[in-house]
Amino acid sequence: MEKVNGKSIVNGIAIGNILFYKKGEQAVKRIKIEDTQEEIRRYEAAKEVAVEQLNALYEKAVKEVGEMNAAVFEVHAMMVYDGDYIDSIKNIIESQQVNAEYAVATTGDNFSKMFSEMDDDYFKARAADVKDISERIVNILSGNEGGGNIGEEPVIIMADDLAPSETVQMDKDKLLAFVTRHGSSNSHTAILARTMNIPALIGAEIREEWDGKPAVIDGYTGTLYIEPDEDILSRMKQRQEEDEQTRSLLQNLKGKEDVTLDGKKIKLYANIGGVKDVAGVLANDAAGIGLFRSEFLYLEAEDYPSEESQFQAYKTVAENMAGRKVIVRTLDIGADKQIGYFNLEHEDNPAMGYRAIRICLDRIEIFKTQLRALLRASVFGNIAIMYPMIISVDEVRRIKEIMDLVKKELEVDGISYGNVEQGIMIETPAAVMISEQLAQEVDFFSIGTNDLTQYTLAIDRQNMKLDNIYDSHHPAVLEMIRMTIENGHKHNCWVGICGELGADPTLTRTFIEMGIDELSVSPSCVLPIRKNIREISLKE
């Protein structure tokens, strides 16, 4: 048995086999070969396997997300057969006498660069497509098809690090836990682990040779056991049973009000990343959705999601929530959430850079497409919209102008829409300091404590070396929360918290005493926080 320590993200026990996650993209070596015709045959065989995979993905996607969202796999299958693409690969193999992997990777890079430099937006978007199919064929040729495929049995995923775009594409039913060498407790992968309520360790010294071996993660102590002995296995199974009993007791709180002993009512909502997470919201009896991270619709896609595909997603969530509030945060990418087809330039300090509402106000057509989809979906439920990374009143007024324009366009098109509340994320010190003015422009505030802590303390929340001084309980952070609540209430603007701090049971009383109206937490945290709320008396 081997024992490794890491930093725990989620309490809990996971028992299962390890799958060492390999990135789809890999370094390709240039190898001199003698038999070019044999190498071309290798390429032809890999090409057919790629098409089979893409066709299978299309069929699976049609069932899960509909034909429109699945169409990208059809496009990729057609691109594999593109004559110019094939000719380039064969020519490189024959003229340079090199291996097929190198020829495919080189062609992919060349075509991708060529497309990205074109003026036409359609062809620019094809740059990511040709890169993707080239990586798929290279993986097949090299026997490295593990990429994002988890397999049939639930596993403990082990990796150097995981990007949001990678974790979001994994089959959540097959994930027992995450273990990574790098990463931060405040990264979006960590947030995903909390949303799914599965144990996760970061900063662990992991080894690829553990792939396939049985393991246990103790999320309470931050310990990973490789090939655990009978004593450890027995103790961990017992702890799992105790956790299950605790969860069962919490089920008795379903249907109960979120109200303190002296009658103070709190709206207790849940955070989600996509349509599939709604099941967890309903299972845990949340009163609504306080944060729908719409960027995951973009992270899951191979190209800009259409108005129709977004509309279907928002509509489905609104219908499933049956009149309960659904607060959708508009596109929030940049920083650690990078999307290839957006072609964002490298930034030395992306957390402070071109992200979130700054992108939306710059690329207005993308923003308008999302707003149209949201307004259309608002007819089918109680949808509210909030905007991230606000730093000025001018930004809010510009957003409202764009929203008015979108409404007029829908009216001209004869398309109905509902009356949506509009709010903003308070996650910058600038927004806190002018929160009284901002409150006069919007219906609600939602405090994003993760970024608010980052910007208030000048600490990059993705930097693991700073985890020990990233203090979301810092007096300055708590004072900013209090100030925001007070200024919001002065102008009938209700105030919630949707950051990770909202689920901190040690602060529930503090937030209620400050006058918070709403807390939005991971679905698995709803019932524990309800228990907290119902045991609090503000008169004590």
Number of neighbouring beta carbons within 10 Å of residue 286: 29
Q: Contact 529/279 with Cβ under 8 angstroms? A: no
For residue 241, give every residue at least 6 positions away whose Cβ sits within 8 Å of its Cβ, in sequence order, or none: none
Residue 182 appears among annotated catalytic residues: no
Quote the Cα angle for 525-427-384, to 5°: 65
Burial class (CB in 10 A: 0-12, 13-18, 19+), 242: exposed
Which two structure tokens, joined as six digits, stand for 302? 């191979």
For residue 199, give every residue at least 6 positions away whose Cβ sits within 8 Å of its Cβ, in sequence order, or none: 8, 9, 10, 11, 12, 13, 14, 176, 177, 178, 193, 217, 218, 219
Burial class (CB in 10 A: 0-12, 13-18, 19+), 531: middle
Question: Distance between CA 426 and CA 151 in Å, rounded?
Answer: 40
Residue 493 appears among annotated catalytic residues: no
* Given the residues 188, 360, 493, 525, the one annotated as active site: 188
Which amino acid belongs to residue 92? I
Burial class (CB in 10 A: 0-12, 13-18, 19+), 70: middle
Which two structure tokens, joined as six digits, stand for 450? 């993760």
* Given the residues 360, 493, 498, 525, the one annotated as active site: 498
Catalytic residues: 188, 498
